[in-house]
Amino acid sequence: MKIVKKSIINDVGGVRITQLDIASRDIASKALPGQFVMLMASEKGERIPLTLVNADKAKGIVSLIFQEAGFTTKSLGRLEPGDSLYSLVGPLGHPTEIKKYGKVILVGGGVGIAEILPVARALKEAGNEITTILGSRNKDLLILEAELKGASDKIYIMTDDGSYGRKGFTTDMLKELLSKDKYDLIYSVGPIPMMKRVAAVSKEYNAKTLVSLNALMVDATGMCGCCRVSVSGEVKFSCVDGPDFDGHGVDWDELEKRNKVYSEQEKHICRLLGQ
Amino acid sequence: MKKEPVKVKEAPAEIRVGNFEEVVKGYSEEEALQEAARCLQCKNPVCISGCPVEIDIKQFIYHIRQKDYKSAYFKIREKSNFPSICGRVCPAEYQCRKACILTKKGLPFASEDAINIHFLERFVGDYGKNNKLDVKIEKDANLSKFKVAVVGSGPAGLCCAGELARKGIKVDIFESLHKTGGVLRYGIPPFRLPWDVLDFEIDYLKKLGVNFITNFLVGKAKSIKELFNEGYSSIFLGLGAGVPSFLGIKGENLCNIYSVNEFLTRVNLMSAYKFPEFHTPVNIGKNVLIVGGGNTAMDSARVALRLQKIKGLPLNTTVIYRRTEVEMPARRLEIEHAREEGIKFEFLVQPKEFIGDNQGFVKKLICLRSKLGEPDSSGRRRPVIIEGSEFELDCDLCVIAVGLKANQILINATPELKTDKYSDVIVDSETMESSIKEVFAGGDIVGGEGTVIEAMGMAKKAARAIIDKLSKKGE
């Protein structure tokens, strides 16, 4: 659980994205793309889930990338190499189903781009033709472009302000691609509004769509139900049934509301503890 | 003249709802002696048959009367590893006290007159703890070369580990959470079972040489097969019943509707009642409803009331249960404590649908009234809905406490482990060995939601079978 390396991936306009490389031989040896860990930054900390971005089996090191957005991720960003996490457990959740689908589009937005990376690499290795669409507010906020380029056959960058790549949403490009050609899988990770739009677009073209959900969790072993989501009319636990689900079945409005259930406390603790 | 039962001291209701300190203060020596003196020391002590692990109740009470608390302690320890815990959480009114000769025949639970065996057990357990009475370790050289993996650090796992370690077997306990104790830590609130009582038992196991490996989820980080490959001779599964049941009604995923496990885990394990000193949040409401009639329902109701008090809200927490008070599976003492603290009860009420606001937060619960019909398979009378009885309750926070099912991660990862229709692990009832050789199981993962003492009984059985097998191997 010791942090062996810390890299600031990006730090512009008040948005800081950090990578921590953490020693955990047990997790590294078992982790598969799409799985996540639960961690606590300190003894009094909250348990939060983070997707595993990389697992170096030989060195016994796992990598996590997160945006320092809330109280816990900011606390996590204050840790330095040599510090230890108070708690780290994993790998959790089902891995993403890696097989040869054929033509695959990956859609990543914000810090979700980091979570796309291990899936992109595995799908590429399984012989899929990978088209990646990355979305970012502007050029400076875009992360891991080179890494994803390496794992993709084609890559498209979309920025909200047009400062890099093309101006527009990831879904504009998705629509364009789907209108011209048939794809066998769409895989998307990012902010809920983005994944919701991705699912809406891909549904029009009847393209199989998997999304990796970021519901709130406590134990993440199926014991609390905090992360319950409605998928195709059934209640599922993101932690043990997911985190990947059929994007066309997810009740996005419900998920969006449930993820805001502690927004007042979040503001309170950030204010109180001077963050 | 008939001697009145000795009442146990408790924190006053109006004070205790403002904190998480232990409610029941336990007997003083004098009180324990008085209560022990009420025991009739029956020639044929029927109380013992009421105890799932058959503690020699008559004899330990006899030792108390002789002021020989040490002998009383060791008498209990012959059968029970955790008298301080069981003395606090055992549903004695359904077990030993119900069997006590002083309970009137035909009652659903113990009479008030029945000897307060649980309070005496707690007195003796705490005496042992305070005087550091250690049970003799009988290390067996033949066994010290073996190591056993225990999966889960709840009551079953702790008990099995203790039994094995006392024989000199090396034990590693794997726990997925960051703290040990399982349901004793995340489920039972500290006002019923203070952490120092639990920590004492865990520290004792550490002294015996038991090694605790937290943050480790067997089934994900390692499989059963991999554990055997690492040299464990046997594996004991004390996985517990932690999967919460929901009602399956409309609106149940609205914000502020919690499973009992989520609500209790946030508050107990994560200390959310001390937010923001502790960083895990929990919400509380002005109109809190708890659905269910078991111990977890009582625990969450009393937790909710404390959160209301701490937040400076008017105390307004109501338990709704579909049968009547008699059928409630909760310990009678918890129901009594809940009522004293100001919890309200609505009996014969069945939830139908939650109504929320635009932000997705729960606002109302639509319910139906019911009446009791014929007994069902549990022997309790079945609630029957009264047509046209629909009514609304204001509800801005709800806890669903309607039962818990077997934890599934390890079971799903181990297809050769045979389970029954409830997904509980199937075992040989004598040895507790599962369908996989050298893999044993006990506690709620075998019997479904049960008590600490039942889990302990199964764990001891499994430990005996493991010791027998290893002894044969070791010769």
Q: Say whether B280 and A46 touch across the interface (CB within 8 A).
A: yes
Contacts of B166 (CB under 8 A, 6+ apart): B135, B137, B138, B139, B208
- Token pair belonging to B311: 């937040």
In CATH, what is the architecture of A103-258? 3-Layer(aba) Sandwich (3.40)
CA distance A187 to A61: 26
CA distance B322 to B371: 9
Question: What pLDDT is stored for residue A269 in this prediction?
Answer: 87
Given a cut of 80, whether residue B475 has pLDDT beyond it is no
B359 part of contact set with chain A, CB < 8 Å: yes
Given a cut of 70, whether residue B279 has pLDDT beyond it is yes
Chain B residues with CB-CB distance to A230 below 8 A: 253
Contacts of B100 (CB under 8 A, 6+ apart): B46, B47, B50, B110, B114, B115, B117
Averaged pLDDT for residues B78-93: 92
Averaged pLDDT for residues B180-195: 96
Which residue type, as a one-letter code, is found at position A214? N
Contact between A188 and A198 (Cβ < 8 Å): yes
Question: What pLDDT is stored for residue B442 in this prediction?
Answer: 96
When the pLDDT of each residue in chain B is averaged and rounded to a whole number, the result is 94
Averaged pLDDT for residues B375-403: 92
For chain A of 275 residues, list the mean pLDDT of each consecutive stretch of 10.
Answer: 95 90 96 97 96 96 94 94 97 97 96 95 97 94 93 96 94 97 97 96 97 95 96 96 97 96 88 70
Q: B375 φ, ψ to 5°?
A: -60, 145
DSSP-H helix ranges across B5-137: 13-16, 29-38, 57-65, 69-77, 83-89, 96-99, 117-130
User: Whose CA is closest to B84, among B453, B404, B460?
Assistant: B453
Q: Say whether A218 and B270 touch across the interface (CB within 8 A).
A: yes
Averaged pLDDT for residues B339-362: 97
User: How far does Cα B71 stand from its chain's mean position?
Assistant: 27
Question: What pLDDT is stored for residue A40 in this prediction?
Answer: 97
Task: Concatenate the DSSP letters of all residues of A129-192 into one string.
Answer: EEEEEEEESSGGG---HHHHHHT-SEEEEEESSSSSSEES-HHHHHHHHHHHS--SEEEEES-H
Q: How far is B224 from chain A (nearest CA, A)?
A: 14
Contacts of B219 (CB under 8 A, 6+ apart): B409, B410, B411, B412, B413, B414
Q: For an interface test with B, give the residue of A224, A238, A253 to mutate (most B CBs within 10 A).
A: A224
Q: Which helix (H) or strand (E) holds B335?
A: helix B332-341
Residues in chain B: 475
Q: Kindly indicate the confidence band of residue B140, based on its pLDDT and cuts at 50, 70 and 90.
A: confident
B30 part of contact set with chain A, CB < 8 Å: no
CA distance A156 to A168: 11
Question: What pLDDT is stored for residue A272 in this prediction?
Answer: 79
The CATH H-level (homologous superfamily) assignment of domain B147-242+405-474 is: FAD/NAD(P)-binding domain (3.50.50.60)
Task: Concatenate the DSSP letters of all residues of B433-471 into one string.
Answer: B-SSTTEEE-THHHHSS--HHHHHHHHHHHHHHHHHHHH
Averaged pLDDT for residues B55-66: 97
Question: What pLDDT is stored for residue B473 in this prediction?
Answer: 87
Contact between B202 and B180 (Cβ < 8 Å): yes
Contact between B330 and B343 (Cβ < 8 Å): no
CA distance B146 to A143: 51
Given a cut of 80, whether residue B1 has pLDDT beyond it is no
Q: Say whether B217 and A221 touch across the interface (CB within 8 A).
A: yes
ipTM: 0.95
Asked if the domains at B147-242+405-474 and B246-402 fall in one CATH topology, the answer is yes
Averaged pLDDT for residues B34-45: 95
CA distance A108 to B448: 43
Given a cut of 80, whether residue B474 has pLDDT beyond it is no
Strands B344-347 and B349-356: unpaired
User: Whose CA is closest to B192, among B11, B359, B396?
Assistant: B11
In CATH, what is the architecture of A3-92? Beta Barrel (2.40)
- The beta strand positions in B232-324, using DSSP E, are 234-237, 241-244, 257-259, 288-291, 317-321
The CATH H-level (homologous superfamily) assignment of domain B9-130 is: Alpha-helical ferredoxin (1.10.1060.10)
Q: For an interface test with B, give the residue of A43, A218, A252, A272 to mutate (most B CBs within 10 A).
A: A218
In chain B, what are the domain boundaries?
Answer: 9-130, 147-242+405-474, 246-402
Averaged pLDDT for residues B34-47: 95
Given a cut of 90, whether residue B260 has pLDDT beyond it is yes
Question: What pLDDT is stored for residue B2 in this prediction?
Answer: 66
In chain B, residues 247-286 whose CB comes closer than 8 Å to chain A: 252-253, 255-256, 258-259, 261-262, 265-266, 270-271, 275-281, 283
Asked if the domains at A3-92 and A103-258 fall in one CATH topology, the answer is no
Contact between A148 and A229 (Cβ < 8 Å): no
Higher pLDDT, B137 or B411: B411
Class of domain B246-402: alpha beta
Chain B residues with CB-CB distance to A219 below 8 A: 176-177, 186, 242, 261, 265
Chain A residues with CB-CB distance to B361 below 8 A: 261
Question: What pLDDT is stored for residue B44 in this prediction?
Answer: 93
Given a cut of 80, whether residue B58 has pLDDT beyond it is yes
Question: What pLDDT is stored for residue B311 in this prediction?
Answer: 95
Give the Cβ contact number of residue B139 at 10 Å: 14
Q: Say whether A258 and B255 touch across the interface (CB within 8 A).
A: yes
CA distance A86 to A38: 11
Of A30, A46, A226, the CB nearest to B262: A226
DSSP-H helix ranges across B167-232: 183-186, 195-207, 224-229
Question: What pLDDT is stored for residue B142 in this prediction?
Answer: 86
Q: A207 φ, ψ to 5°?
A: -100, 125
Q: What is the pLDDT of residues B430-445, one digit of tens each?
A: 999 999 999 999 999 9
Question: What pLDDT is stored for residue B134 in this prediction?
Answer: 79
In chain A, what are the domain boundaries?
Answer: 3-92, 103-258
Q: What is the pLDDT of residues B237-250, one digit of tens each?
A: 999 999 999 999 99
Q: Which pTM does this prediction carry? A: 0.95
User: How many CA atoms, within 13 angstroms, populate the side-chain half-sphere of residue B390?
Assistant: 7
CA distance B283 to B257: 10
Place of tokens 């020699």: B56
- Token pair belonging to A93: 């959740």
Chain B residues with CB-CB distance to A258 below 8 A: 253, 255, 360
Give the Cβ contact number of residue A265 at 10 Å: 18
